[in-house]
Amino acid sequence: MPKYGWPDKEWDKAQGPYQREAIRRCFWRSCLNCDHWNDGQAKAGNDAGKPQGCRKASYSLPPPDIIVFGCDSYVEQIPF
């Protein structure tokens, strides 16, 4: 089903890169740029072997609206 009159593939091409860059630059608050998010890639340390998810919620996946918009516990990743 088209979104906003565009076929899905065109929507993904137009919107996907914008959303990813906004999240990467922390312009868009999301679980993906929160310091509590575990991406499931850790090979060592406290997150080694843990599934992708929120550390504050015992590594469970939050509901979609929380993943997209963040929550009250949101902490921007600090680069040091």
Q: Flag whether pLDDT at 36 surpasses 80.
A: yes
Q: How far apart are CA 56 and CA 14, in angstroms?
A: 33
Which region, left, alpha or beta, applies to residue 40 given φ > 0 means left and ψ of -120 to 50 means alpha? left
DSSP 8-state assignment for residue 34: B
Q: Flag whether pLDDT at 54 surpasses 50.
A: yes
* pTM: predicted TM-score of the whole model, two decimal places: 0.64
When pLDDT is cut at 50, 70 and 90, the band that residue 1 belongs to is very low
Res 40: pLDDT: 86
